[in-house]
Amino acid sequence: MRKLCPNYDKEDGLDTVLEVPIPEEMFNNMGSNAALRWQNLRALMKAQSAENKSASASNNNSHLSSRSNNEFVALLKLVGSPLIPFQVQSDDALTRPINDACDSIEASTAKYIVQQYVAATGGLPALNAKSSMYAVGQVKMVGSAMHEGGGSIRAKGNNEVGGFVLWQKYPEMWYLELVVSGFKVCAGSNGKLAWSQSSSQPCHPNKGPPRPLRRFFQGLDPRSTANLFLEAVCIGEKTINEEDCFVLKLDTATNMLKAQSTDHTEIVRHTIWGYFSQRTGLIVKFEDTKLVRIKSVKGNDNVFWETSIESVIGDYRYVDGINIAHSGKTSAMLYRYGEALHHKRKIEETWRIEEIDFNIRGLSTDYFMPPAECLKKEDSSGIGES
């Protein structure tokens, strides 16, 4: 992946370090020669106004079959930087006994499966020895347009190529930068407030207490994954890619759903499933479904949006004693129904980890501070309070 931008303005000038490394494929698609590619890349990386973006939309092919650049950015956030509905504790919860008198058989079975997962990813001492993480990866996305009615749907068209950088500091701080086809999405949490923004949209603080990034549970953060599924129940078995798996399920509590809802939207339900290999103990699939009701301003004609995202995870390799997934594929189905309208669309992301490291020296809490405008919005609206 490309990390440096040559200085074509000054022959003896220093190279510029890219904030987010980009794949060679994305770089090669930007022009017929190196100088033109870097010129186009720098132009894309500059923050543009909404008017400029709208004006340029007619000169470019639509991304992910979207009707506008703002819609494309929204889809990037949907697939590239969604959050899970739970606050995940990174304490010593993994040492809980399996046979708790208050647990059902299904809950005790889930705890046993989680303990096997901890062992398969390196063991509790190795996981607890990690205080921070850094990862660089590349993505390819493809999507369908919004389709009406039933029937199967397939994501097709040109690949949208990009890369991401992900930083994490335990217990609850993280920061993501994602660049796809020249569009940038940022999201993060300082442990008190989770937020997101893009080059064309202002900073937006998320409602409710801070929550972790879904991407961590795609084989990147075994400790958070184990702590999350300690509260699950085992609902049976299923075969995923010829791998026999135990299925663990988590339903979001009503008070959590209410805390994340707004005056105009109600989160009706949000359910998570984890599929753990019976052979290796590793998680091989992570899935969640979220149903949101958009409240009508007038009348009772509400609109419902349902998002189902499943990630198939693989290519596990040990990094500093931790077994980390290095590639996978995420498929997102978006359904819209209500007001006699029934639409759906599909977005797919293929991802690969290029670099990952732990215990990053000099990574301070200041790196995870939200933009100032997010803090102002939090103070004025009370967002982020649990």
Instruction: Render pLDDT for 30-72 as a digit per residue (tens, 0 to 9).
Output: 666 767 766 666 666 554 434 344 434 334 456 776 777 788 8
Backbone angles phi, psi at 257, to 5 degrees: -60, -40
Residues 6 or more apart in contact with residue 285 via CB below 8 angstroms: 240, 245, 273, 274, 275, 310, 311, 312, 313
Show the DSSP H helices in the chain as ranges: 24-28, 34-45, 50-57, 69-80, 105-120, 124-128, 222-229, 254-260, 372-381
What residues does each domain of the chain span?
Answer: 1-44, 76-381
- The pTM assigned to this predicted structure is 0.86
Instruction: Render pLDDT for 246-292 as a digit per residue (tens, 0 to 9).
Output: 999 999 999 999 999 988 899 999 999 999 999 999 999 999 999 99
d(CA 122, CA 216): 17
The class that CATH gives domain 76-381 is mainly beta
CB burial readout 225-259, b (16+ within 10 A) else e: bbbbbbbbbbeeeeebeebebbbbbbebeeebbee
Instruction: Render pLDDT for 106-161 as a digit per residue (tens, 0 to 9).
Output: 999 999 999 999 999 999 999 999 999 999 999 999 988 777 877 778 887 788 89
Residues 6 or more apart in contact with residue 170 via CB below 8 angstroms: 90, 130, 131, 132, 223
Which among 277, 269, 283, 353 has a CA at the least distance from the CA of 311?
283
- Length of the chain, in residues: 386
d(CA 168, CA 118): 19
